């Protein structure tokens, strides 16, 4: 839980820093040495052309920063689904790695996507033996409860994410 909070805080700090960096970027003539500026041929630009170049660079940096921030946000949300409700009601579709012998209270289910879920209710699916079965882990409509179901079976078990 503390790891998830620290990741969320780290993401927030990274997003804030990215936004500040985009707005605080000095004009290109201040970022380059006079020799670099001249060697790049930028000294031949008029004042208006230089303003347009700086405006374009600023927009490009902001666009790329926004893309990077969105990618980082999605990665954090995807990695932490099940620990917190990030607003996505989309189910997680994966497979249980190895043999599945039905549901049972306290059992852990390791998915191919690396997530580990532990059953916290007494749902039962006795007599089932499958290898690498497809599963769906769905959030409840209300609260932060999650349910796992195996493709081809109607029984669902309540689970909590442990990894």
CB atoms under 10 Å from CB of 157, counted, come to 25
pLDDT over 90 at 108, yes or no? yes
Name the pLDDT band for 148 (thresholds 50, 70, 90): very high
Kindly state the average pLDDT of the residues 39-48: 92
pTM metric for this prediction: 0.57
From the number of C-beta atoms within 10 Å of its C-beta (0-12, 13-18, 19+), residue 117 rates as buried
Name the pLDDT band for 4 (thresholds 50, 70, 90): very low
């Amino acid at each position: 839980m503390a790891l998830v909070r620290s990741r969320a805080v780290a993401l927030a700090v990274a997003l804030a820093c990215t936004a500040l960096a985009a707005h605080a970027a000095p004009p290109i003539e201040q970022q380059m040495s006079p020799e670099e500026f001249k060697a790049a041929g930028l000294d031949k630009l008029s004042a208006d052309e230089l303003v347009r170049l700086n405006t374009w660079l600023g927009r490009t940096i902001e666009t790329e920063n926004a893309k990077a921030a969105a990618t980082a946000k999605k990665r954090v949300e995807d990695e932490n689904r099940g620990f917190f409700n990030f607003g996505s009601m989309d189910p997680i579709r994966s497979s249980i790695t190895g043999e599945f012998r039905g549901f049972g209270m306290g059992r852990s289910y390791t998915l191919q996507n690396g997530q580990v879920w532990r059953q916290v209710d007494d749902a039962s699916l006795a007599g089932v033996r499958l290898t690498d079965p497809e599963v769906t882990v769905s959030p409840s409509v209300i609260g932060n409860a999650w349910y796992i179901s195996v493709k081809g079976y109607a029984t669902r078990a309540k689970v909590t994410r442990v990894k």
